[in-house]
Structure 1
Amino acid sequence: MHDNDALFDALRRSADAGVVDAIEDLVRNGRDEELARLNALGLATARGLDEEKVIAALLHASRLGLFEMSWNILCPSCGGVLGANATLKSVRQQDYHCAFCALDSEPTLDDTVEVSFTVSPRIRSIGAHDPDSLGFWDYHRQVFYGSGLAFPEPGMFDALSRKALLEAVELKAGERMILALQLPAETVIIFDPVTHTAHLVESAGEPTADRREITMIFTSARAEVGRTTLAPGPLRLLLDNRTERRALVGVYVAGPEMCSLIGGRRPFLTAKRLLTNQTFRDLYRTETLDVEQRLKIMSLTFLFTDLKGSTDLYERVGDLVAYDLVRSHFQVLHEIVASEAGAVVKTIGDAVMATFPEPRRAVSAALRMRDSMRQLNARRGAEELILKIGIHEGPCLAVNLNDRQDYFGQTVNIASRVQALATEDSIFATQAIVRDADSARLLSARGVDATLQALTLRGVGDRVPVFAMT
């Protein structure tokens, strides 16, 4: 425990003290399931903490070895974990298969790749560190489902699970078993969350007294979902576990009770949000994507800035003064971007490229940037730092360029072109930005008008409406 105290003391030197206190309390007193796949946003909500500070603290905690970070591929339907990866580099680009839902899906960083945190076994031992020791539902809570699933409260959970689950059996490695049950007049799913093996039994016809048989073989290889149509009545399941691990076979009734049991959702930390987090970029830098990796993001907001007349500035005030001014401008922009849940992707000369998880954050950052530059100029009594800003939102690819995580696609090109159109001390944005409901409310609250400009973007085939925020 003394070593743990030293690690938490080290964490307090790099993260918010109040957040660290909450994390330490959770590690010492929290339930195992809370520490198996810790939901950063859930922790912030439960403890009344700032989300960005919680994310930053957990990233620093992972660097110190208090937690292990996992990039989990989720089924977009049931929220089950289809693949857990220690780094984003391990995420495959091809489809992932959910046997429980009989669904193939391609991972997108927006909503089907979550980032969760598991307490390190050298800090505290929990059931998830030894999955074969977990009971049926504990395995589902701590291992199979992602951190975005919100199970009902215990009393309601027990009532629903009794109706949704016909049978649950543990099948040891190499064990065979015969399970007799009565099929209802509803669809039944037979599923093992360990091997991800499933069989779907659809109901059709009048009830029968004839006994039928279905054989399920559990192996380490991916199996296609079996499908059978049977009338309600007796069924004998022949179960054969040919793996070196146990299987946890559940027979579920695919009805409203099951939907209520596993249908609850809560916000979770997505890969997209983490990639646009400044602390993550600072701590992990080139450790995110492989050189050949191309991962889709369906919606990301890009903000480009540039200083007008920076060459003239160097000639007018001299290299040393100009350098200090430009450096101060970069520091202000970095701080604003980070405070708006964004991240600076790179700087090019006097220009900045930044990303944000949503348009409103980028608009807020842009307005604050413009105000900050005006305040800097007012203190110096001269218009020396004139910032031109462009914003656009859309799909893109997360890639590795020049040994760092970057973005590629037409959305990036358009955002850069919009910035190039911006005139003195102006913020230009596309329709996707100004028509976003949260952005529109922010502009209205700030008394900022978005005026349509009769402009054409260089290198973009279709005409893209551009608005000036004044």
Structure 2
Amino acid sequence: MSELEAQFATLKKIADPAVAEGIAHLVENGEDHELNRINVLDFSRQNGFDEEKVISGFLHASRLGLFDLTWNVLCPGCSGVLDTHDTLKSLRGDDYHCGLCACGYEPSVDEQVEVAFTVSPKVRRIAAHDPNSLPLWEYYKQVFWSSGIDLNTEFFSTLTEKATVDSLELPAGERAVMSLQLPPQFIIVFEPVTHSAHFIDVQGEPTKERQQLSLVFNKSHPPTGSIVMHPGPLRLALDNQADVRTLPTVFIAAEELHDLLGKRRPFLTAKRMLSNQTFRDVFKADNLHIDQRLKITSLTFLFTDLKGSTALYERVGDLAAFDLVRAHFRALLEIIASEKGAVVKTIGDAVMATFVKPEHAIAAGLKMRAAMDELNVERGTEDLVVKIGIHEGPCLAVMLNERQDYFGQTVNIAARVQGLATSRSIHATGGVVEVPAVSAILQERAITPIQKQAALRGIADKVLVYEIP
């Protein structure tokens, strides 16, 4: 058995077998571009696989050395990849600048950091392993734009025919001249390798005199420049002082370009990855470093606690109580993973978990309550009663006690809301219950939440909370 065959044999044992087979088929038969920055959500949709099983499968495949996992910082405007990191630890907290959009962005892991997978060159060599050899539009497709843009055949035909004036490949250290006819529109001279751009506001009376503009490309990421010119001929002198080939492209910043860049598709975000149980279990070393703080604009927290656990130990004895608590933990952890969540930590008999969306947390909470009822019926007792609190909001992803954790007022409120529960009811804040998808879940189950204003310890103002009976 070859090393590759052994790797895939192992993958089929630790990941979903159907997903593992699909990954193996992709590696063996996929086109080169299909193996670069794989959008795992799109792979899941095309093959009819469960998304969580696919994410888990690719994570295990990466751990086995079949794929390289990258964290790509995206421009929210054009979805261009502003920087690529092979570990979350190297993600910076300062601004990333997009030349095409002339904007700077402080990255949040919600929608601005993409997690993608590229086949390892040790497994199969593809063209994107040498990006400077890719043809111009393949470079845009495979390197500059993220997997979150729908780059279909129509996209590039429209881009080249309606939104592009001219383009060329300029070898390192060489110069070239473009002779252009400027239309009365806003023009962007963009270079994707160095991420540099120059804007030309073409306005006023047309001219027959040849206008002049000189641009220099290098690796210093020069600031975006702009100039006003007249419609008419332009001599554009280009000087590539970078040590790699550059790809200067002249775009018309009109409706066609904006429409194309607006054609998006779902992709795997860093926020979702951080709330994935397989990632937390398998890639512990790829988490944040001790001084890192990553902003998350929205994350849902679920806290649980086992009611009366001290009395339980006294009533049934340590051994029986330990078995009950262990069964309770096993059920909770399985439910959290099934609803696309991840366990951050357990504290005594309590669990702290995160979910990307509030509806997943509510669904998990309802399942947890039902699971405790089933365990009590099986044992002929009513000893297992779980108190549950749910809250959603912004937070920081940090490292605490050598574990990837979360910090902020949202976490504090979620923990306090859990403390309101005195029985098997679930308590959730107004922002959670009022989410349409959450309301739909409760209506489907004929559950009417009870509204109240709650004073939470350490929180100045009262908080709108719903009890879900």
Q: TM-score, normalised by structure 1?
A: 0.98
Runs of 4 or more consecutive aligned structure 1 residues displaced over 6 Å after TM superposition: none
Tell me the equivalent position of 2:195.
Answer: 196
Q: CA deviation at 1:454?
A: 4.3
Tell me the equivalent position of 1:240.
Answer: 239
Tell me the equivalent position of 2:445.
Answer: 446
Aligned: 1:322 with 2:306: no
Which amino acid in the other structure matches residue 149 of structure 2?
L
Listed one character per residue, the Cα deviations across residues 348-407 of structure 1 (whole Å, up to 9, x for unaligned) are 000000000000000000000000001101111111111000000000000011111000
- In 1, Cα distance between equivalents of 2:461 and 2:269: 32
Tell me the equivalent position of 2:273.
Answer: 274
- In 2, Cα distance between equivalents of 1:461 and 1:455: 11
Which amino acid in the other structure matches residue 46 of structure 2?
A
Q: CA deviation at 1:261?
A: 3.4
- Give yes or no for contact 2:453–2:462 (8 Å, CA) kept in 1: no
Q: CA deviation at 1:156?
A: 5.7
Map residues 202-241 of structure 1 onto 2, 5 A cutoff: 202-241=201-240
Tell me the equivalent position of 1:180.
Answer: 179
Tell me the equivalent position of 2:160.
Answer: 161
- In 2, Cα distance between equivalents of 1:316 and 1:124: 61
Tell me the equivalent position of 2:402.
Answer: 403
User: What SS is found at the alignment partner of 2:213?
Assistant: strand
Q: CA deviation at 1:243?
A: 1.2
Which amino acid in the other structure matches residue 48 of structure 1?
G
Map residues 30-109 of structure 1 onto 2, 5 A cutoff: 30-109=30-109
Listed one character per residue, the Cα deviations across residues 229-248 of structure 1 (whole Å, up to 9, x for unaligned) are 11111111111111110001
- Give yes or no for contact 1:218–1:241 (8 Å, CA) kept in 2: yes
User: What SS is found at the alignment partner of 1:375?
Assistant: helix
- In 2, Cα distance between equivalents of 1:444 and 1:252: 50
Listed one character per residue, the Cα deviations across residues 264-323 of structure 1 (whole Å, up to 9, x for unaligned) are 100000000000001110011243101111110000000000011101111111111111
Tell me the equivalent position of 1:339.
Answer: 338
Tell me the equivalent position of 2:296.
Answer: 297
- In 1, Cα distance between equivalents of 2:10 and 2:252: 50
- Give yes or no for contact 1:161–1:258 (8 Å, CA) kept in 2: no
User: What SS is found at the alignment partner of 1:170?
Assistant: coil
- In 1, Cα distance between equivalents of 2:319 and 2:327: 12
Tell me the equivalent position of 2:435.
Answer: 436
Q: CA deviation at 1:258?
A: 1.9
Q: CA deviation at 1:159?
A: 4.2
User: What SS is found at the alignment partner of 1:216?
Assistant: strand
Which amino acid in the other structure matches residue 253 of structure 1?
I
Which amino acid in the other structure matches residue 305 of structure 2?
D
User: What SS is found at the alignment partner of 1:465?
Assistant: strand
Between stretches 207-216 and 156-165, larger displacement belongs to 156-165
- Give yes or no for contact 2:149–2:261 (8 Å, CA) kept in 1: yes
User: What SS is found at the alignment partner of 1:379?
Assistant: helix
Tell me the equivalent position of 1:413.
Answer: 412
Between stretches 455-464 and 36-45, larger displacement belongs to 455-464
Tell me the equivalent position of 1:7.
Answer: 7
Which amino acid in the other structure matches residue 220 of structure 1?
K
Which amino acid in the other structure matches residue 405 of structure 2?
D
- In 2, Cα distance between equivalents of 1:340 and 1:456: 30
Aligned: 1:392 with 2:391: yes
Which amino acid in the other structure matches residue 450 of structure 1?
P
Which amino acid in the other structure matches residue 127 of structure 1?
A
- In 1, Cα distance between equivalents of 2:466 and 2:158: 55
Tell me the equivalent position of 1:23.
Answer: 23
Listed one character per residue, the Cα deviations across residues 63-93 of structure 1 (whole Å, up to 9, x for unaligned) are 0000000000000000000010001111100
Which amino acid in the other structure matches residue 90 of structure 2?
S
Listed one character per residue, the Cα deviations across residues 81-111 of structure 1 (whole Å, up to 9, x for unaligned) are 0010001111100111000110111101110
- Give yes or no for contact 2:453–2:463 (8 Å, CA) kept in 1: no
Q: TM-score, normalised by structure 2?
A: 0.98
- Give yes or no for contact 1:286–1:404 (8 Å, CA) kept in 2: no
- In 1, Cα distance between equivalents of 2:396 and 2:140: 32
- Give yes or no for contact 1:286–1:403 (8 Å, CA) kept in 2: no
The structure-2 alpha-carbon separation of the partners of 1:159 and 1:147, relative to structure 1 and needing over 3 Å to count, comes to: closer
The gaps in structure 2 that reach 5 residues or longer are none
Which amino acid in the other structure matches residue 337 of structure 1?
I
Q: CA deviation at 1:256?
A: 2.2
- Give yes or no for contact 1:161–1:257 (8 Å, CA) kept in 2: no
- Give yes or no for contact 1:392–1:430 (8 Å, CA) kept in 2: yes
Q: CA deviation at 1:263?
A: 2.7
- In 1, Cα distance between equivalents of 2:71 and 2:156: 28
Tell me the equivalent position of 1:288.
Answer: 287
- Give yes or no for contact 1:161–1:261 (8 Å, CA) kept in 2: no
Q: CA deviation at 1:324?
A: 1.1
Which amino acid in the other structure matches residue 216 of structure 1?
L
Which amino acid in the other structure matches residue 142 of structure 1?
Q
User: What SS is found at the alignment partner of 2:14?
Assistant: coil
Instruction: Please give the root-mean-square deviation of Cα atoms over the aligned residues, in Å.
Output: 1.1
Aligned: 1:381 with 2:380: yes
- Give yes or no for contact 1:160–1:260 (8 Å, CA) kept in 2: no
The structure-2 alpha-carbon separation of the partners of 1:147 and 1:220, relative to structure 1 and needing over 3 Å to count, comes to: same
Q: CA deviation at 1:155?
A: 4.9
Aligned: 1:118 with 2:130: no
- In 2, Cα distance between equivalents of 1:58 and 1:156: 28
Listed one character per residue, the Cα deviations across residues 26-82 of structure 1 (whole Å, up to 9, x for unaligned) are 111222222111001111111111000000000000000000000000000000000
Which amino acid in the other structure matches residue 410 of structure 2?
T
User: What SS is found at the alignment partner of 1:292?
Assistant: coil
Tell me the equivalent position of 1:149.
Answer: 149
- Give yes or no for contact 1:344–1:355 (8 Å, CA) kept in 2: yes
Aligned residues: 469
Which amino acid in the other structure matches residue 388 of structure 2?
I
User: What SS is found at the alignment partner of 2:169?
Assistant: strand
What is the aligned-residue identity percentage?
54
Tell me the equivalent position of 1:349.
Answer: 348
Which amino acid in the other structure matches residue 46 of structure 1?
Q
